[in-house]
Amino acid sequence: MHPEHAPDTARSNVQMSEDVADAEARRIIADAYRPTAYRDDTPVPAYGPTPPVAQDGRPPMSQGATDASVVMLAGGTATAMVGGTAAVLMYVSQFADPLVCGLVFGAPTALVLALARLATKAKPAPDVHHHYEGPVYQDRRNLHTRTTGVWAKTNNQQ
């Protein structure tokens, strides 16, 4: 190694044997490829504050999102069945009017969807019960938030 390429350490003047140099090279390479993360494989307790684990099937989501997805799946299935029935009827009869079939098969679906929406809006608000121990201060101010701009700036007005 030329002196201008040698590192500025005290060890650069010491001559290494082939075995020592080989061991040092292996150590440097092992340090470079050492994993930087660690996975804790200790078992979690069977009771208590265990973390949630995603199960097979639908991905984890809120109860409202789960309910909405079930309604969308059921509505899509019902629409496919009604449309398939109308298509088969028009193909088999060879003279069915598509407008009449749309009205006959679409009206019940629209009626059911309208009634379902009305039923969800007609639910009474749940009773809310709070139980406190000790002195409690309730702040009942209304806060009006407005966020504007490319870089969001939020103004809170009381």
Question: Rounded to the nearest 10 degrees, what angle do helices 63-93 and 98-121 cross at?
Answer: 160
Instruction: Delimit the domains of the chain by residue range.
Output: 63-120
Please check the confidence at residue 43 and state whether its pLDDT lies above 60. Answer: yes
Q: In whole numbers, what is the pLDDT of the chain averaged over residues?
A: 77
Please check the confidence at residue 2 and state whether its pLDDT lies above 60. Answer: no
Q: Which pLDDT score, from 0 to 100, does residue 119 have?
A: 77
Contacts 24+ apart (CB under 8 A), 91-96: none
Q: Which pLDDT score, from 0 to 100, does residue 23 have?
A: 92
Average pLDDT over residues 103-124: 78
Banded model confidence at residue 139, pLDDT cuts 50, 70, 90: confident
Q: Which pLDDT score, from 0 to 100, does residue 7 have?
A: 54
